[in-house]
Structure 1
Amino acid sequence: MMHVLVTGGSGYAGRFIVEALLAAGHSVATTGRTEPDAGFFSGPVDFIGADLEPANAKRTLFNGVDGFVHAAFHHVPGRFRGGEGDDPETFRRLNLDGSVALFAAAKQAGVSRAVFLSSRAVYGAQPPGVVLDETTAPQPDTLYGEVKLAAERAIAAMADDGFLPIALRATGIYGPAGPGRRHKWAELFATCEAREDIPPRVGTEVHGDDMAAAVRLMLEGDADGLRAGSSPDLVFNLSDILLDRHDLLAEYVRITGLGAPLPQRADASAFNAMDCTRLKRLGWTPRGRLDLGGLV
């Protein structure tokens, strides 16, 4: 079993990762500015007060750590794209320089496995209908995407025989939130209940448990197999279903019996879906369907 440090472990995505690691028998520590309430996690989790300031990324943070997962991200509440608000300098310093500093400290401390939670935003605008795989040339069109891509590249450059840092380009993580928290579609469901107009939308989604399973695969899988599977750039796409908001709300209405009107279907012909063949070849098996368990 491993001792794993997860930054941002009490965040929406981070909590799925912590719970998956606990379920697998690993011991976990998480960092953040505020310690979560007792009972937030299903088992014991050590808490270390920390932030993303590059100067605070100390080697001692990783004492006794075997694996590192970086899920923390500084942004305006509720926004990733555009999450810099009116302070792009701080956004870049914390999310790029801070991330790179943490991975450098992890490597210096002798951590062997590290996972960076990246984003499909690195691809930016692509020709209509083109399917995105890891060989697609990134062309980020937001500061969020630029920062994620720059961090990916800096972290990958640290790889050697003793240190394996891998980036997961995740998209649309959904699922139940932690105690006292709201899930990502709570406001959308409330709008549906109020029978207000909802604009059409289509997007790629992955359940948080499936995302966390991919993180575990990066930490536990054969190192040579992971290197070969992600060669040469040490990145994997992480997505599951292409979901139209019409279908999401149709399932919500079916379960709840609301009888609320549904939005029009979006035009998905130009959407850039993600190809996750590279990850699936390593044994990752997402559920392949919408799962509203714990959300309704």
Structure 2
Amino acid sequence: MTTSKDYIVERNISLSQVATLPKNVLGKKEAKKELSEVRRELAEFQAKLYAHDKHAVLVCIQGMDTSGKDSLIREVFKDFNVRGVIQHSFKVPTDIERSHSYLWRHYIALPSKGHFGIFNRTHYENVLVTRVHPEYLMSENLPHFNSPNDATEEFWQMRFDQINNFEKELTQNGTFIFKFFLHLSKEEQKNRLLRRLHRPEKNWKFSADDLKERKLWDNYMYCYEQAINNTSKDYAPWHVIPADDKANARLLVAKILIETLSQYQEIQPPKLDDETSGNIDLYIKALENE
């Protein structure tokens, strides 16, 4: 039986050695059926989390273009009560966001107690895209940063430390953090990009920049590997999810979430006060006799 332990990063990994298909691939119909059952369990947990009101859940989704981030979020969380979940998709920083620390826009988007927050692309963009394109850092107006050459190994280690501290603070204050890297093969990305081009209704998703970034695939894999190895901690571990099969990737993420969250047995709705609980039958009778 597949468990979260099969995909959690507990020691340094080499992404080139990690499979992009799960060990046991279910058929699409079977995976969808099992997902529908697991996401109902997740929705039940969400209701308890909302009523308990002492913890939050932050789900971070990272992956290369076409890795299935949007559809995974749609399918895994579709049974949630909308008042208890919020999704943020982080694009290129605005001028206002760049005038603050790079973590600022992520701080203000965090879920409050009782809620799920989903980051579609995350604070890790600041050690991924900017590491592949260090010239982007110039727009941050950092002190003592005068050219892209100032993005040294020490600079990136500083950012890894900052991110670790950010996440540790969150967990110490009641937020459960899940970080999923959707591990897509280069060949499967090629197939998905071709499908976007061959299907007119999908053309809008394609950008010529996708091909430019694809040429930097090895650079991105190196930066992902470095980020994962430096920031997978016991309080906020990474899970590397094989993503060449979308249906199975969605199921894995959902199963890891419910397997982990269901361990927190203390998360229950608050008990009614003695007077209210003692008069339940009276309240029922009053309503039935209206």
> Bigger relative contact order, structure 1 or 2, given CA contacts below 8 A and separation 6+?
2
Higher share in helix = 2
Q: Same fold (TM over 0.5)?
A: no
Report the TM-score, using the length of structure 2 for normalisation. Answer: 0.32
TM-score with structure 1 setting the length: 0.31
Kindly name which structure, 1 or 2, has the bigger radius of gyration based on alpha carbons. Answer: 2
